[in-house]
């Protein structure tokens, strides 16, 4: 597929765009099975290279587990798994030609592209953690990643805690640039994230949405029997520097010279 000029105009205006289903049933089942294998410790992926965070038991954001590399325990109740570009199946998806086209449009055709984070997000049935309103930006980077590709691995609904967004909110720029991860204060959220303006980003399994990283978003807990698994990739200019460490923010190049090769990512 290719994205039309009209679709790009909609994305630029609204700060998000639903692309429809990009995964067929075989591809979808493959990614679902692979992430379950990773959570249960049954995968060949190099666990020392991926960050795994357990979900909270309370639903409170402050109670989520530490973000550290390695398997904590075999369970399907992980909240976040990051570094999935080091799994061959997920890397193959990250490098899909449609995403290369999208990155070329956002960053320019000659820009090498890296994954800032290739991340699984999970809200298990009747669990999950409230994600407060925020913009996806990090104040230690010398330039902001601007694009996230969000793929639903399960149906994403209001009941199971789908992403909520504030359309057009990216147009106002950064709201809380002093926060290291772009989170709003409660007072800011009251002003910028009114309930009547929020849109629930409901998606079918296998459906994909583009999000501008500055588009305000949040999510609730899962109140259903259906898990809400998703795969989210933040693509960025490969020359982006972490100013705190004075080094490249990511060496996971996915498009351009030096890109990761599927056959070489398994430890």
60-94 confidence digits (pLDDT tens): 888 888 899 999 999 999 999 999 999 999 999 99
Interval 238-261: pLDDT, tens: 999 999 999 999 999 999 999 999
| % helix, strand, coil for the chain, step of 5 | 25, 25, 45
CB atoms within 10 A of CB 207: 20
pLDDT at 106: 97
Tens of pLDDT along 147-198?
A: 999 999 999 999 999 999 999 999 999 999 999 999 999 999 999 999 999 9
Q: State yes or no: pLDDT of 267 exceeds 70.
A: no
The span from the CA of 74 to the CA of 81, in Å, is 13
Domains of the chain: 5-257 (2.60.120.620)
Residue 237, H or E segment: strand 228-237
Q: What's the confidence (pLDDT) of residue 264?
A: 80
Question: Among residues 153, 162, 133, 165, which one has the least CA distance to residue 222?
Answer: 162
Query: What are φ and ψ of residue 21, in 5° steps?
Result: -80, 120
* Contact of 92 with 127, CB cutoff 8 Å: no
């Amino acid at each position: 597929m290719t994205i039309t000029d009209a679709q790009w105009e909609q994305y630029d205006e609204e700060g998000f765009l639903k692309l429809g289903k990009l995964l067929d049933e075989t591809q979808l089942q493959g990614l679902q099975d692979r992430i379950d294998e990773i959570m249960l410790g049954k995968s060949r992926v190099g666990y020392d290279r991926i960050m795994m965070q357990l979900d909270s038991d309370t639903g409170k954001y402050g109670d989520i587990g530490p973000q550290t590399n390695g398997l904590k325990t075999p369970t399907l109740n992980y909240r976040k798994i990051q570094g999935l570009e080091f799994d061959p199946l997920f890397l193959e998806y990250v490098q899909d030609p449609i995403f290369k086209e999208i990155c070329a449009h956002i960053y320019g055709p000659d820009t090498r592209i890296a994954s800032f984070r290739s991340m699984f997000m999970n809200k298990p049935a009747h669990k999950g953690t409230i994600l407060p309103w925020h913009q996806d930006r990090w104040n230690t980077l010398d330039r902001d990643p601007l694009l996230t590709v969000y793929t639903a691995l399960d149906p994403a609904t209001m009941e199971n805690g789908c992403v909520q967004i504030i359309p057009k909110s990216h147009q106002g720029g950064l709201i809380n640039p002093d926060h290291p991860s772009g989170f709003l204060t409660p007072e800011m959220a009251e002003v910028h994230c009114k309930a009547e303006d929020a849109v629930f980003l409901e998606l079918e399994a296998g459906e994909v949405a583009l999000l501008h990283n500055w588009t305000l978003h949040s999510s609730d807990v899962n109140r259903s029997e259906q898990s809400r698994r998703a795969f989210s990739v933040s693509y960025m200019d490969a020359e982006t520097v972490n100013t705190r460490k004075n080094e490249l923010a990511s060496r996971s190049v996915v498009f351009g010279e030096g890109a990761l090769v599927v056959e070489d990512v398994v430890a």
